[in-house]
Structure 1
Amino acid sequence: MEINFEYPNVSASDRLEAYAKEKLKNLDVKYNFLINADVYFKKENTTSDKTGAICGIRIHGNGVTFFAEASKDNFENAVLEVIKELEPQLKKKKSKLASH
């Protein structure tokens, strides 16, 4: 799966990209219909210490697009939350593909 990264108003980070790639690789292994992913990281000023680091992931696969976004205290936690939100979407699509 090809992965593209965007950093609106945030400095690019090789460590963060490696972390996101590792998590997305796990999805790619489980769901073989994935083609590419667009990942973005951005900061938002919030009144809470538990939000503000936003990660959004859009995955394209088999004619369908999956999307999730999360705002957490840091980007690593935001990536984990987005992966958790994407899992049920991908699982549902895989079960539909298997039934055909």
Structure 2
Amino acid sequence: MEITTQFVQAEPNATADNLVFGKLENLAKHYNWIIRANVIFKEEKKSDGKGKICDVILSCPGPQIFASSNEQTFEIAVAETIRDLEVQLKKRKSEMKPF
């Protein structure tokens, strides 16, 4: 699986980058049909304490799978986004027909 990360209006964060790589590699072990993952980290200036956004787009057979979360830190946003992706991947796997 090919993984690309991008930081938009945010300072590059090696911890978040490494965390998302590790979690996506773990997903790729369970779902070997994932082709590519595009990860976008964004930072919004808000007064409510949140504003660290993690978007992940997975390319796989069928429509792309997308998940996003807005949390206080990139690490929490990554964890929440990966949880959302796991739910969608389980559903996609159950809908796949064997050859």
Q: Tell me whether the two structures share a fold, i.e. TM-score over 0.5.
A: yes
Shift of the alpha carbon at 1:64?
2.3
Moved over 3 A (4+): none
Task: Report the residue type matching 1:7 in the other structure.
Answer: F
The match for 1:93 is: 92
1:83 paired to 2:82: yes
Shift of the alpha carbon at 1:63?
3.0
Q: Distance in 2 between matches of 1:60 and 1:53?
A: 23
CA RMSD of aligned residues (A): 1.4
Q: Which runs of 5+ in 2 are unaligned?
A: none
1:71 paired to 2:70: yes
Shift of the alpha carbon at 1:15?
2.7
Partners of 2:56 and 2:68 within 8 A in 1: yes
The match for 1:15 is: 15
- Identity within the alignment, %: 35
The alignment's TM-score, normalised by the length of structure 2, stands at: 0.91
The match for 1:30 is: 30
Shift of the alpha carbon at 1:12?
1.9
Change (3 A) 1:83 1:59: same
